[in-house]
Structure 1
Amino acid sequence: MATGTKICTMIPRRLLAARSLSTVSFFAEKYPVAEAATPPLALDLSDTQRLFASFPTSTLFRSLATLSVMAAGPLVDLGTATIRAMESSDRRILRAAVFEVARTTVHRHFCAGEGLEDASRTVQRMWDTTGMRSILDYAMEDADDNVACDRNIAGFLRAIELASSLPPTSASVCVKITALCPISLLERISDLLRWQQKNPTFRLPWRTSSFPILSNSSPLYLTPHPPVPLTETEELDLQLALQRLSSICKRCEESNIPLLIDAEYLTVQPAIDYFTYFAALQFNRGDQPIVYGTFQTYLRDSEQRMANAFQAAEEAGVSLGVKLVRGAYLTRETKLALSLDVPSPIHGSIHETHECFNSCASFMLEKVKKGHGAVVLATHNLESGRIAAEKAEELRIGKHDRKLQFAQLMGMADGLSLGLRNAGFYVSKYLPFGPVEQVLPYLLRRAEENRGFVSTSSIDRQLLRKELLRRLATIVVGRT
């Protein structure tokens, strides 16, 4: 830690006073977070020449143009509305034209391509030119039936085969449980798990050993009445879905490739956590976890759920892998809470979300230091990156320790990614791939996120402008 840097809880006094026995105060007191008033020397973004040395000018210019357009709210609103309208349109020519525009703009910027060959080239190029790793995401989600789930698992297995053919440790794989189990069944399982949290005597005969999934602060209001038990057919479908996940985990274990399971929206998240812990109990018995679950820190109950899960995992002798994010379903969760006339499950401000992320990151770094887990800190926030880098140095966590990784989405926060890489940390870029029509839900969330967090995009754009102006000045001076 830099000399003179103070330690603080980063938690507002009014929150501590109101919730003195809450997990917020518990985390803040037990896992203090360093202030970021003085940026640590380990993370330096001032030298854009070094930062973007591996990027051609054409790539920097295209990135600046795309991010600038997406920072214009009215343009983003118009574009997303048009794409949503075209998803269900029967006007083939117009639909094709809109998708082609998306392919050459947002798809090109945020995705690794449309097929396995495109994704392979992107991963290899990123590894060769920047030394950064990739998280491959075959961008499928929201399956309606078992036929779609069986089709999706074939795609995920091909992604694992691709990752195993690339340079060792250059790629991991991401999966969405909503692509492996029908949505309607995930909703049913989530309702049953919520009701059991309300009433522990409520029996779930299909439930196997697991870590705690919900807490008393979780949004249990989403299940206001006792749900009907799963039918025999639903229980069979649940077993099929668990088998799909197990086959993916087994392939990852054989190839020593980490598997990151995404978090999604709250109506299905309890079921996703159940699947995640089911897999972790099977495959995370070694020192280096194979399965990573995801916690979204914009949720008020995320700290308590993570603390509960870690306590149970340590008692079971399981190494828990965690991907820590802020969250990508803010609009959806807010609308649902308003429609039910209930308090939002999301923190009341972005500042509180930042505090929650930083506190959870500090907790995870302590666990990594003690050898009790592994973490992927997926953040686009520069201050969070600085704080975590400083905390890792304070704890003397080796920068080549695979149990600590930073990650950012492809096309976003490249300056932060490169700065962390230059500081010696493992850094991965999240690379979704698939046809434009297939990845539209992902692309629309990226558009909404980029519009909502303009400050993050603003830093990216400032760095890109600085480097482009430097290169232009170099050319002008060279000609005079």
Structure 2
Amino acid sequence: MATRVIPPRILRNLRYNTATRPLNAAHPPLSAPSVAPPYLLDKPDPTHQKPPSPAAADADSILNFDNVEKLFSHVATSKLLRSSAVLHATAVDPVVDFGMWLMKSKVMEVNLLKQPVLSAVRHTFYEHFCAGEDAVTAGESIRALNQAGLRGMLVYGVEDANDNDACDRNHNGFLHTVDVSRSLPPSSVSFVIVKITAICPMRLLERVSDLLRWQQKDPSFNLPWKRDTLPLFSESSPLYHTRKRPEPLSPEEEHEFELAIQRMQELCQKCVQNNIPLMVDAEHTSVQPAIDYFTYSSAILYNRDNNPIVFGTIQTYLKDAKERLLLATKAAEERGIPMGFKLVRGAYMSSERSLATSLGFASPIHDNIQATHKCFNDCSSFLLEKIADGPGAVVLATHNVESGKLAAAKAYELGMGKVNHKLEFAQLHGMSEALSFALSNAGFQVSKYMPFGPVETVMPYLLRRAEENRGILAASGFDRQLMRKELNRRLTAAVF
């Protein structure tokens, strides 16, 4: 991995709220103090176990958002204008509602109307949130990103396969993505992303998840096809999806499942050969047990020598996220398996709540955003402590500036305040540009999640970004404010 010199910008006088209960007593949480302002305090906390270093005492902040000229120095004016306009549009509910209605309506079944709509989407939202229509074009986007000091997560934008033919096609696309990643500048691609729903039919993932949930309810329930794995559930994990004892997999289903396992193993082997980490995305709780099964059984086989190749994803808006993370990391540690995790808040809130309500159960998602923030920050703190003292790696995928500041400060406190392969920050392509560049300027590795594929193929991704992340998109006002400030500065400089 390439190493860069880190500018000595360290957050001054930071203290953590030690009264907040951490994941375990040895690891203080990443929680904001209960006093204002939340990050920069007038005096350091003398009771803190690790007081700021002399270098920290001379710095104003790790993340600098004041110098917009430096923040957006790698962004062309035309891109700033488009980004500002697109983010503004996606923060307006009527615009989002109309767009989702249009894309799901029968208008898209009329070719004469469909093509102009897709063209409009391509030149606005698609170009903003996606990296290109194929892997080669996405590679060019990553080259440009790399020149700006960022890295890319290559995401072949397919999901929800219905049969083995579709799974085989998708699998070949993922293998090709690894080949393209290898052809790009070293370390410019941080991860290749795979969605298990693209290489295993959805109905089979639902069946396997039902069987795994039932075994959690009844440990005597035998699953002859089950391979070695890490814990998939905690005591608080939702099991309401499986309401009755499921039938065992038929011989045909077992064969089909074995084909999906073989696809995953071939992809893992190719990533090992090319030393490119493979990130498994999280999805709906109805199929997440099967997805975790794919992830953990593969990690046991391929994660070796403090070099996690297979990374799992924890959605911290789920109430059981902390417990499942603790159980998985403890089991991996006991077996000497270096684990990699990506932390996200989550992207299926509306559908999860609707499903739980329809079945007569409480939502599996935290009751409020504050609880989700706390869960993300606590899990971040726990994993940073883990990888600072031992094996493993973590990707903190957040658009929340406060979480970014807290995690950056924690990393410096732990002596991880420079680019290394153990810690990566990440944001969606087209989102939270200011946070991405601020973290990069502070010396951290930062990646952008870059889906690619034809417009129609990645449409489910675009619709989900709009439907499930309204809060994030609305919160993009911080980015838009900084973009407008930089645009005004450039306009003033050009005129005067």
Q: Check if 1:331 corresponds to 2:350.
A: yes
Which of 341, 353, 358 lines up with 2:372 in the alignment? 353
Q: Check if 1:6 corresponds to 2:7.
A: no
Deviation at 1:222, TM superposition (A): 1.3
Q: 2:48 — aligned with what?
A: none
Q: Is the 2:152–2:447 Cα contact (8 Å) retained in structure 1?
A: yes
Deviation at 1:288, TM superposition (A): 1.7
Q: 1:33 — aligned with what?
A: 30
Q: Larger % of helix: which?
A: 1
Structure 2 SS opposite 1:436: coil
Q: 1:211 — aligned with what?
A: 230
Query: Residues 62-461 of structure 1: matches in 2 within 5 Å?
Result: 62-86=82-106, 89-128=108-147, 130-171=148-189, 172-461=191-480
Structure 2 SS opposite 1:257: coil
Deviates more, 1:396-405 or 1:379-388: 396-405
Deviation at 1:84, TM superposition (A): 1.4
Deviation at 1:409, TM superposition (A): 0.4
Alpha carbon RMSD of aligned pairs, Å? 1.6
Deviates more, 1:115-124 or 1:444-453: 444-453
Unaligned runs of 5+ in 1: 12-23
Distance 1:187 1:465, change over 3 A: same
Deviation at 1:334, TM superposition (A): 1.0
Deviation at 1:328, TM superposition (A): 0.5
Equivalent-residue separation in structure 1 for 2:358 and 2:469 (angstroms): 25
Deviation at 1:28, TM superposition (A): 7.1
Deviates more, 1:467-476 or 1:66-75: 467-476
Structure 1 SS opposite 2:476: helix
Q: When the two structures are superposed, what TM-score results if normalisation uses the length of structure 1?
A: 0.94
Structure 2 SS opposite 1:7: coil
Equivalent-residue separation in structure 1 for 2:226 and 2:337 (angstroms): 19
Q: When the two structures are superposed, what TM-score results if normalisation uses the length of structure 2?
A: 0.91
Equivalent-residue separation in structure 1 for 2:25 and 2:112 (angstroms): 56
Equivalent-residue separation in structure 2 for 1:463 and 1:287 (angstroms): 39
Deviates more, 1:430-439 or 1:37-46: 37-46
Deviation at 1:89, TM superposition (A): 4.1
Question: Percent identity among equivalent residues?
Answer: 51
Deviations 1:406-438 (A, max 9, x none): 000000000000000000000000100000100
Equivalent-residue separation in structure 2 for 1:96 and 1:268 (angstroms): 34
Equivalent-residue separation in structure 1 for 2:127 and 2:25 (angstroms): 41
Equivalent-residue separation in structure 2 for 1:243 and 1:10 (angstroms): 48
Deviation at 1:452, TM superposition (A): 2.4
Question: Which residue identity is paired with 2:263?
Answer: R
Q: Is the 1:9–1:33 Cα contact (8 Å) retained in structure 2?
A: no
Distance 1:58 1:3, change over 3 A: closer
Q: Is the 1:60–1:468 Cα contact (8 Å) retained in structure 2?
A: yes
Deviation at 1:476, TM superposition (A): 2.5
Unaligned runs of 5+ in 2: 1-9, 41-59
Q: Is the 2:350–2:468 Cα contact (8 Å) retained in structure 1?
A: no
Distance 1:10 1:321, change over 3 A: farther
